Chains A and B, each alone.
Chain A
Amino acid sequence: MGKAILTKKILLHTVLMIGVLVSIFPFYWLVVMSTNQTSAIFAFPPKLTFGGYFMTNFNHVMDNTNFIRALFNTIFIAVLSTTLQLFFNSLTGFTFAKFQFPGSKALFYVMIGTMMIPGQMLLVPQFMIIKELGWVGDYKALIVPGIASAFGIFWIRQYALAIHNELLESARIDGCSKFGQYWRIALPILRPALAFLAITTFMGTWEDYLWPLIVLTDTSKFTLMLALQQLKSVHTADYSMVMTGTLMATLPLIVIFLVVSRQFIAGIMEGAVKS
């Protein structure tokens, strides 16, 4: 019996490890390409180990793109979007969870319904509005439409349902306004839910491609994803440089993910069960 279980265990872990290799290999390949010269990778057989050319490739990226600029643009947009989303989503989610007012149920269901609208469908008319507002080429076009999201509100609301009414009640008796109840009581309790929302929003903004491609016109305002696409289209021959740029643009998110992975995956799993 013991032997049969051991065989089964080994078999299971082998299958799972093959999957892990498939998941990890492209990252390994990314680092291999970033540390070698293009000629070494395009040789037959290709080089499969790390080389010593990372700094050379890094300097090429710096010479050929405004990487630092794109990095700061991306951080700026991602931080601002995330902060605004955290504030508006938590305020709205808390309100839906803890207060009843005329129309609150209907308004809540309308909000849930909006999650079913496929985003790409509204691309053209949304662009028209942005144009009408004179926001083409402006970060407002990236930030403002997304400062409150149905998913974020729903997510916070599910958490906020667990806040004890007595807590809010006693705050109210002490003369705390509704906003005060949100700011002083709910917000600290909602911290874990906010952390998850912050990470997903930050990553989503960082990786966004189609909408920035449409509304940003000036290369000096480009985000990392747009800069990367441009680098790739222009320098098709220097693959090592393009790969190095890719590594530099994705590394921050990988680091953030590895630091918070446990809580983040727990959040994803909770989210799936709730919806």
Chain B
Amino acid sequence: MADTKREVFLEVKNLRITYETKQGKVKAAENVSFRIHRGEFIGLSGESGCGKTTTALSLMHLLPKEGKVEEGVILFKGENILDYDTKKVEALRWRDISMVFQGAMNALNPVHKAIDQMITALRIHEDVTEQEAKERSLELIKSVGIDPARATSYPHELSGGMKQRLMIALALVCHPSIIIADEPTTALDVMVQAQILDLFNQLRDRTNLSVLLITHDLSVLAETCDRIIIMYAGRIVETGRTDTIFTMPEHPYTKKLISSFPSILVDKEIDFIPGNPPDLINPPSGCRFNPRCDFAVDRCRQEVPPLECENGHCVACWRRHEF
């Protein structure tokens, strides 16, 4: 890991999650392990259905009822969150770990004023007076760049960008140590997205906050994160420092993903990965990327490649050193 001296806040070990469906068991995440240090911004990326949101939801006990953690531990400050009962989880949520959801427009309660929602969240988790809660909320609203005069607005009176800022303010209200942000800018315009990313970068400079940023948009990760985790079909295929991942990716999937990502700075040929992501009810044996991989050999079809680390750059590919 990049900086092992720093305190590990959250550690996920061998997480395996399945969803029960009529067609069979969907193996949504398998053998997922990673750590988040204090003050670190981690990006979790991959395409739809790769298990990134599933992993995030499990951290907060928010999996839908079909979902089940079959195996693994999630250690937060040394305790396994997965063993917590509802009461303990509720105490953890928002206070220690909070979440910013995709599509802020729908995540705020439309019948309550923005500031009231913050005050309520604060007073549920902390023993503070109404006045104190109000002051703290207003301060936060200011810090995310919203005019405090707008605090008493209802969500429909605010624009999409403002609502997303409010969601971030709401997530910060109890001073959590980790924010899980699931596609926080995906529904927003480019300029508003830039404003929100700027806000994240400011938070990084000003506080000790750790962020798990989940998005399919690699360029967003390139601009905000310290480390990146790439998932494919429920497994981690590569992790490493952001610059390593973008300049020297080693897993064929990561390579393809980056080369198919368009950029306005360079004249890239259009690239793509042929085929479709696998069906996770009956995933391919061996490396799950093998049916779409240009370099697959027999071993890739038979044995699952382990995630092996060298200088903090971990890759799950049998042929890592061959090219």
User: Is the A/B pair a real complex?
Assistant: no
Q: Which residues of A contact B (CB under 8 A)?
A: none
